[in-house]
Structure 1
Amino acid sequence: MINKLLTQVLNSAPLGRKDGLYISHVAGDEILELFLAANRLRWAFRSDSVDLCSIVNAKSGDCPENCSYCAQSSKAKADIEKYPLMDRGFIAKRAEEAKAFGAKRFCIVTSGKKTSKPELKRIALMIKDVRRLGLLPCATLGILDKDELSLLKDSGLERYHHNLETSERFFPEICSTHTYAEKIKTIRAVKAAGLSLCSGGIFGLGEEWEDRVDMAIALRELGADSVPVNFLMPVKGTPLEAAGTMHPFEALKIISLYRFILPDREIRVCGGRAQTLGEFNSFVFMAGADGLLIGDYLTTAGRSPEADLRLIEMWGLSAG
């Protein structure tokens, strides 16, 4: 059955929900067969290039939203550093560091439901600085409208990141201070503004495989160019602090599922990669990924960029 689905995707026939649910039930010796098929799809649709991005937590903590996984929520009691929007010089320095260790894209991230107008103007200048360094500027600034996004595009923004996080069905279980519909509205504004769209989610929140399949199909229909795959890192002081870490093979199976449903999109493995995959981190490309977030995350540490560059080289792939 896996070979049948592989042939279907290679022939440019998209998989349906039933096909995705079949992949979700793959187990035993079929798992490696699934990974090998996903790897073949990666080569067929994305070649040998691994897209690298890095982020900066430009404004941290005190977010009024109540997302259950997030340490930056004002409802959480997590012990994290909190600060207002960083100055322009600091962001430029972080972008220079990201470029030095091989990142192609650099994303400015702020906490909160929505970036204020004064902050937006300051960030527009930061985006110009990032562009001048030769990096592709990205931003994660919450729920914005088309006019606000167009201002950023005019300043040089290439891509806007706005995660669905999970399926429409499960979203109310993890957040009640904004809606799934608000997220969809922002995503459509991103496309209307002519920006590249980065949108994915977090896995291990308590969702079912059906939710994972439904989100993948939704992202395909919304036209996401890059799909970040994050794995929950339970943080003390958040509502999900007692949640366990998923098995590495479950995490890798999610990557393969997304490669099958979104064969021609960037499947980028981001938060929780090192913590969830552990010794199986080297399997990310075999499972179908063609993009990585390198360096640290927002409030937690990631793998060293040097280690990831060595991994890419060992696989015979190219970074950039």
Structure 2
Amino acid sequence: MNVHVVQNPAPAADGIRHDWTRAEAQAIHDLPFNDLLFRAAAVQRRHFDPNRIQMARLLSIKTGGCAEDCGYCSQSAHHAAGTGLKASKLMEVERVLAEARKAKEQGATRYCMGAAWRSPKNRDMAAVVAMVEGVKAMGLETCMTLGMLSDDDVVKLKDAGLDYYNHNIDTSERYYSSIIKTRTFADRLDTLARVREAGMKVCSGGIIGLGETIEDRIDMLVTLANLEEHPESVPINMLIAIAGTPLENEKKVDPIAFVRVIALARIMMPTSYVRLSAGRTEMSDEMQALCFFAGANSIFCGETLLTADNPGEDKDQVLFKKLGLEPEVLEGSAEPATGDDAGTTFSRDGIMHDSHERALKALERRGRLRSLASRSGLDFSSNDYLGLATSPELSEAVARALDRGVAIGAGGSRLLRGNDPEHEALEAEAASFFGAESCLYFGGGFLANYALFSTLPQRGDLVVHDDLIHASVHDGVRAGKAAAQSAAHNDPQAFDDAIKAWRTQGGTGRPWIAVESLYSMDGDRAPLDDLAAVARRHDGYLVIDEAHATGVLGPDGRGLGHALEGAPDVISLHTCGKALGVSGALLLVPRTLRDYLVNRARPFVYATAPSPLMAAAVRAALGIVASEEGNRRRDRLAGLVAFAGRAIERQLEIAPSGSHIQPVVLKSDDRAVRVAKILVDQGFDIRAVRPPTVPEGTARLRLTLTLNTGEEATARLIDGLARALQEVPA
């Protein structure tokens, strides 16, 4: 007889672990069956009523035609010839809501909606959002599975009130490519991270019976249990071998082996709902009873499960009566109790800030919790590139403005009494300096971008934005009427292809190309001439965010797109809070578009006007930038950039960006934070930049070169950084 002794590290204070190893999980999985079930049942009783089962209903809102090649799925377009399943259109909203009402009447407390998509298209999101809002209004928990999600998709679903997003990882990372070739395991984890960071709950599990090994099953659960926050729902599916799919001849799963997976999931993720999902039609009552005893506490009810059969309500009622089980009631039981609250029930809204606190803890575990810190140390993090923010020249200009009676506050929006002569003088001078037809002054760059993209592109238009475009553009597009699509970074052909594809699909409006001239996190330059050619070829607009070039690059600091300025199809944004050293933003647009913004842009119409005193300060800053003093400052900065570039290439062995923004990509959030702390302790003001500000897996230090430091400090920084990178290896 083998004696199994399982020793685990002490759990966290809340009883939840995120540091499981394969060896630990394997040892638990391999316990004598009675011991394993006893342990799993004990865990379940600490966190749930063992005789209550959550009833969920799953509806296919769009069936078949999926571009993915999942070997188990009848809905894949790759297998349609064998399965005979025809693709359907997205179901109408009212029909979905009617089905949800029926499900609620039959005892479901959670309603799940699935679409056979690789990822949702922008044109379908309005209907999807309406489905979520309608089902949620019925008092049901909402869940959706739509494939991989973009940041825009996540925000729309979150704003609609979606409770859960389902995105199964299916199997282990090692075995994943044997089942699916059209996406990667990392793609799945990226979407889960986006969902979690948005504050939604996660539903993620896998499938048993794909031809995987026991080790693959264990690795799958280790991956889920070691996420920064456990999925609130973990569906465990048993393969339904569907004729016409590549896995139609897979062997049936041994029932005891399946129950072991359920038990291990319960032990490793104590407060998650473990759902007995697909495959129940092949399970005996006895097998399901063992699964419930081992920790499963949720099922899908109804006679169909997407395209597969499922036991109907009558069969489930008979089984529940045999076992003495009761359906879970949504009110007062949606959140599993833990710790001192075990055995009690409480409302999901019982703690006012509970969801916010969970989201903050999740950020902290991922190394992404941010906090405000006072400025200290040598400046290698600000955008005050020309050192004007604390310059005596600007201080004296502000004092002179006060002396001549310039008001500090506007007192109202510019369409009321807030329009000041300083605003109008600034706009006229800025339009002349940058070579544009007209200018509109906003309180900040984010606000200006938001106003532009939420107002100017019309219904039927398409905004094609660079993959690395600023968050303000994303938010503006979401609030606007036009469709949106991203294009590969700094790739004019990708923009051209996106517009051509849109036209082919019936797009009749006007395309808007949105780029930055100098990218804020990479320090590289956009191919503006080529992008302008694409815009003109398609009768579109080119919108250039010059935020990090204004004052520094181009003739007299007019920006990298200065040669394009003034054309009727070019719009540019020049922010005032970076190299100009003050605050606000100047939107350079044709006169007609300026008038349209004044009348229709909600952030302009309804916001108190920027301070007239700040408008006077911006006028002074533009005067400095356009003067010989501005040329001297730009020359000094260019010399510092060249000096730093040589040192970076020599000591860090990375390619310099060639600009005053130098990223040092460290990939890991934790490594970026630790390296930054070492440099801060040495007296440098350096900040770690992490997702979602930058793409997943590209956490970095963003070094900015300003006239607030010089060559000696820059040399010490690069030397310290080289040592820190050795101290904290990848």
Q: Distance in 2 between matches of 1:166 and 1:60?
A: 23
Q: Distance in 2 between matches of 1:251 and 1:228?
A: 13
Q: Distance in 2 between matches of 1:289 and 1:281?
A: 9
DSSP 3-state at the match of 1:268:
strand
User: Which residues of 2 match residues 5-154 of structure 1 at below 5 A?
Assistant: 12=15, 14=17, 16-26=21-31, 30-48=32-50, 49-76=52-79, 77-154=82-159
Question: Residue 214 of structure 2: which of 209, 219, 235 is its match?
Answer: 209
Q: Deviations over 1:133-174 (max 9, x none)?
A: 111111000100232112112112111110111111111110
Question: Structure 1 residues 6, 301: CA separation in 2 closer, same or farther (over 3 Å shift)?
Answer: farther
Q: Distance in 2 between matches of 1:232 and 1:286?
A: 21
- Aligned-pair distance for 1:292? 1.1
Question: Residue 277 of structure 2: which of 251, 259, 270 is its match?
Answer: 270
DSSP 3-state at the match of 1:93:
helix
Paired amino acid for 1:190? V
DSSP 3-state at the match of 1:169:
helix
Question: Structure 1 residues 291, 3: CA separation in 2 closer, same or farther (over 3 Å shift)?
Answer: farther
DSSP 3-state at the match of 1:240:
coil
- Name the counterpart of 2:264: 257
- Aligned-pair distance for 1:117? 0.9
- Name the counterpart of 1:225: 232
Matched, 1:319 2:327: yes
DSSP 3-state at the match of 2:293:
coil
Q: Deviations over 1:44-65 (max 9, x none)?
A: 1223332221110111111111
Further displaced range: 110-119 or 3-12: 3-12
- Aligned-pair distance for 1:8? 7.3
Q: Distance in 2 between matches of 1:5 and 1:89?
A: 54
Question: Residue 312 of structure 2: which of 304, 308, 311 is its match?
Answer: 304
TM-score, length-scaled by structure 2: 0.42
Q: Is the 8 A contact 2:6 2:27 kept in 1?
A: no
Q: Distance in 2 between matches of 1:294 and 1:3?
A: 39
Specify the structure having the higher radius of gyration (Cα): 2
Question: Structure 1 residues 2, 82: CA separation in 2 closer, same or farther (over 3 Å shift)?
Answer: farther
Consecutive unaligned residues of structure 2, counting only runs of 5 or more, are 329-730
Q: How many residues align?
A: 317
Q: Distance in 2 between matches of 1:2 and 1:195?
A: 39
User: Which residues of 2 match residues 169-180 of structure 1 at below 5 A?
Assistant: 169-180=174-185
TM-score, length-scaled by structure 1: 0.92
Further displaced range: 75-84 or 254-263: 75-84
- Aligned-pair distance for 1:310? 4.3
Q: Is the 8 A contact 2:56 2:301 kept in 1?
A: yes
Paired amino acid for 2:178? E
- Aligned-pair distance for 1:7? 12
- Aligned-pair distance for 1:5? 6.5
Q: Distance in 1 between matches of 2:200 and 2:209?
A: 29
Further displaced range: 230-239 or 246-255: 246-255
Q: Which has the higher relative contact order, 1 or 2, with Cα contacts under 8 A spaced 6 or more apart?
A: 1
- Aligned-pair distance for 1:282? 2.2
Question: Structure 1 residues 5, 204: CA separation in 2 closer, same or farther (over 3 Å shift)?
Answer: farther
Q: Distance in 2 between matches of 1:36 and 1:311?
A: 22
Q: Distance in 1 between matches of 2:319 and 2:144?
A: 27
Q: Distance in 2 between matches of 1:195 and 1:213?
A: 26
- Aligned-pair distance for 1:17? 2.1
Q: Deviations over 1:79-125 (max 9, x none)?
A: 33531111112101111111111111101100020111111111101
Question: Structure 1 residues 21, 82: CA separation in 2 closer, same or farther (over 3 Å shift)?
Answer: same
The Cα RMSD (Å) is 2.3
DSSP 3-state at the match of 2:153:
helix
Question: Residue 281 of structure 1: which of 282, 288, 291 is its match?
Answer: 288
Q: Distance in 2 between matches of 1:13 and 1:141?
A: 29
Question: Structure 1 residues 78, 47: CA separation in 2 closer, same or farther (over 3 Å shift)?
Answer: same
Q: Distance in 2 between matches of 1:312 and 1:278?
A: 10
Q: Deviations over 1:179-212 (max 9, x none)?
A: 1111111000001111000000111111112111
Consecutive unaligned residues of structure 1, counting only runs of 5 or more, are none
Paired amino acid for 1:273? R
Q: Is the 8 A contact 1:101 1:306 kept in 2?
A: no
Further displaced range: 99-108 or 4-13: 4-13
Q: Deviations over 1:277-314 (max 9, x none)?
A: 46422222112111111122111110112332443454
Question: Structure 1 residues 5, 53: CA separation in 2 closer, same or farther (over 3 Å shift)?
Answer: farther
Q: Distance in 1 between matches of 2:317 and 2:151?
A: 36
Paired amino acid for 1:84? K
Further displaced range: 173-182 or 39-48: 39-48
Percent identity between the two aligned chains:
31
DSSP 3-state at the match of 1:143:
coil
- Name the counterpart of 2:710: none
